Amino acid sequence: MQMRAFLRRLWPRTLLARVTLLVVLGMALAQLLTYAAIRHERGQTLMNLMLSGVERDIASSVAILDRLPADERAAWFPRLERPNYSFALEGAVDTPPPTAPALARFAEVVAQALQPFPVLAIGQIGQSDAVRMQLRLSDGSALYVLARRVPMPVADWVTWLLAAQLLVLALCAWAGMRLVTRPLARLAQAADRLGPDLRPSPVAEDGPAEVAQAARAFNAMQRRIAGTVQERMQILAAISHDLQTPITRMRLRVDLADELPDADKFRADLEAMRTLVQEGVGYAKTLQGIEEPLRRLDLDALLRSLVHDYADTGRPVTLTGEAGIALATRPQALRRILTNLVDNALKYGERAELAVRLEHDAVRIEVCDAGPGIPEDQLAAVLQPFYRLEASRNRETGGSGLGLAIAHQLALSLGGTLALRNRPEGGLCAGLRLPTSMTEHTP
């Protein structure tokens, strides 16, 4: 299992790297097999050529020595010797015959070429590719032949040529895989840019026919999604606009008819309807995106200003920690996120505790309360619109279910995340994490 996990960590994560690695490994294996086949075939051919030449040379030299007088043979040795064989009149063959197939075949071929001179003994010299042969000449005297098997290596340029060929093939494979995977990367980037505002981010419709077709389909999908969301927002805005008039008219009638029973309850219901309509439109606008431009602000100053605003109204809100950075963000959107979180904490926990800290690549702002918390299986669900923990429709206790949803959508539009967790000592913490890729440290 450990070995499998280790190999899995070594395996590339991207499609480009994986396919390129497989193609290059396959070509490298094919190149190695080709190289081995060339070496083997070349070695066999050169060995046959060498044996056919050496055996004739040794046989011719022995025939010459056999015809010379015995006292003149030693003087002819320097003339007949070659780098791969030599002769001697004295010596001994006291080693076993060669066992390696190539050297044994070499000795056998030489021995056959020396006929009709009988070979009395053959022995290998140490661990080298040389053998010593004892044979008998026509006059009965002994002659010792030292024959060496000279290897025939493949030329260096062949190895370099195969290496260069492998490099060229690897580069071609990488370029081909990049041509295939680059459109996928562009589609993934375009999908990432399609944020919570659902604004289309067109992809270039160029390249091969399949790539261009996929880009056109992706762009069409983006336009359909944006059109559908825009249409729903317009419907919601139209309904909200049309409801404003009857709600206002009903409010006026209730105010003119104070003698009606339960007039205060009517007013409360009408105010709840008006607030619900406004929050619904606000959520739709948040989902559609905000036009506020990015600005650089002092995050600590923003948090202190927020805490002071609540303190002026007598609300128990505290702040701990410092970020010490200037953050490039949308100030109004960030302030609305924090306001929604603080209001939610004050509503359910009677006090709000803000804490800020700088992490490796992000800044984290937590808003905690001392309320009852949220069941673990519903922490993610409460970030969805119109989701309320209470089954009751009482807005005084259950709310509209849009405060956390709006904060969640705004956090996504700022490139951040919003997550909820329960405190061990009781209460709920809402953690807002914003990236610091566009921040600078304040003096």
- What are the structure tokens assigned to 132, written together? 């010593």
% of the chain exceeding 90 in pLDDT: 7
pLDDT band at 154 (very low <50, low <70, confident <90, very high): low
Domains and CATH numbers, the chain: 16-148 (3.30.450), 194-289 (1.10.287.130), 293-441 (3.30.565.10)
56-60, 160-164, 299-303: which has the highest mean pLDDT?
A: 299-303
Q: Which residues contact 216 (CB under 8 A, 6 or more apart)?
A: 205
**299 phi and psi angles, rounded to 5 deg:** -65, -40
pLDDT given at position 354: 92
Q: In the predicted model, what is the mean pLDDT of the chain? A: 78
pLDDT given at position 431: 92
Q: 204-261, pLDDT tens digit by residue?
A: 777 667 777 888 888 888 888 877 777 777 776 677 667 777 777 777 777 766 666 6
| pLDDT (mean) for 433-437 | 83
% of the chain exceeding 70 in pLDDT: 77
Q: 355-404, pLDDT tens digit by residue?
A: 999 888 889 999 999 888 888 888 888 887 766 665 433 344 445 556 78
What HEC string does the chain produce? CHHHHHHHHHCCCCHHHHHHHHHHHHHHHHHHHHHHHHHHHHHHHHHHHHHHHHHHHHHHHHHHHHHCCHHHHHHHHHHHCECCEEEECCCCCCCCCCCCHHHHHHHHHHHHHCCCCCEEEEEECCCCCEEEEEEECCCCCEEEEEEECCCCCCCHHHHHHHHHHHHHHHHHHHHHHHHHHHHHHHHHHHHHHCCCCCCCCCCCCCCCHHHHHHHHHHHHHHHHHHHHHHHHHHHHHHHHHHHHHHHHHHHHHHHHCCCCCCHHHHHHHHHHHHHHHHHHHHHHHHHHCCCCCCEEEEHHHHHHHHHHHHHHCCCCEEEECCCCEEEEECHHHHHHHHHHHHHHHHHHHCCEEEEEEECCCEEEEEEECCCCCCCHHHCCHHHCCCCCCCCCCCHHHHCCCCHHHHHHHHHHHCCCEEEEEECCCCCEEEEEEEECCCEEECC
Closest Cα to residue 398, out of 409, 387, 383? 387
| pLDDT (mean) for 298-324 | 89
| pLDDT (mean) for 14-33 | 74
Q: 345-354, pLDDT tens digit by residue?
A: 888 877 899 9
pTM above 0.85, yes or no: no
Q: 120-139, pLDDT tens digit by residue?
A: 899 888 878 888 999 988 88
CA distance 158 to 144: 39
| pLDDT (mean) for 413-422 | 87
Q: 26-82, pLDDT tens digit by residue?
A: 777 777 777 777 766 666 665 555 555 677 788 888 889 888 888 888 888 888 888
